[in-house]
Amino acid sequence: MIRRAPVAVLLSGRGSNLQALLDATGQPEFPAEIVRVISNVPGAGGLERAAAAGVPTMVVSHRDRSREAFETALLDALAEGPWPEWVLLAGFMRVLGATFLAAFPGRVLNIHPALLPAFPGLHGPAQALAAGVVQAGATVHVVDAGVDTGPILAQGSVPVHGDDDEARLAARILQLEHRLFPMVLRQAAEGRITVAGRRAEVRLAPGETRWLVAPPDMP
């Protein structure tokens, strides 16, 4: 039996990235296991996906709380289950600060729908369209105190088509996100990621790259 690193996922919405992570971690040889899913939004679609996979869920609202109190509540919620080695932000629409990050130094990972450091913050695909870039993409990075500024672990690129609107481009990027996040979780769980200052080093397995490219037939 392989060792499976306990992982918590934080989200706010539909949870398609969570689904990709559930599908990957559901494989018997995957070195990580999702032990808890927490949403700050009641009714988020990701909660149903987690429940369908038999993963315990909780709602921890950010409303009517200071950021510190919210982060303490998140930590309290996590403490109710197996303490996670990694925390993955999969469409989690709150910025985490020192209270939370100090509990998981270098162990909070985020997926962002843009080729960072371009287009941090909200609406990455719309920002890419507005800037007229011809390649867009997604980034998985270690979370630091900034907004989408932490060390980059892996990126994936997709072409921008002339007739793209935000929804079409976002959907194309999302297909790559669903490959990127499980790939990086495997690397993290296997202890192949180290961070030195602003840069992350990843010991790649045979056939892995840190740069995924959309297949030519991707819609």
Q: Which residues contact 153 (CB under 8 A, 6 or more apart)?
A: 109, 139, 140, 141, 142, 184, 187, 193, 200, 202, 210
DSSP letter (8 states) at residue 218: -
CA–CA distance, 206 with 194 (Å, rounded to integer) = 18
Closer CB to ligand GRF, residue 36 or residue 112?
Answer: 112
Closer CB to ligand GRF, residue 13 or residue 81?
Answer: 13
Shortest Å, Cβ 112 to ligand GRF: 5
Shortest Å, Cβ 170 to ligand GRF: 6
Closer CB to ligand GRF, residue 80 or residue 165?
Answer: 165
Residues in touch with ligand GRF (CB under 6 A): 11, 13-17, 90-91, 111-113, 138, 174, 177
Phi and psi (nearest 5°) for 24? -70, -50
Instruction: Tell me whether residue 112 is one of the annotated catalytic residues.
Output: yes
Shortest Å, Cβ 134 to ligand GRF: 20
Q: Which residues contact 61 (CB under 8 A, 6 or more apart)?
A: 40, 41, 42, 70
DSSP letter (8 states) at residue 187: H
Shortest Å, Cβ 2 to ligand GRF: 26
Q: Which candidate in 62, 112, 123, 178 is catalytic?
A: 112
Closer CB to ligand GRF, residue 82 or residue 159?
Answer: 159
Residues noted as catalytic: 112
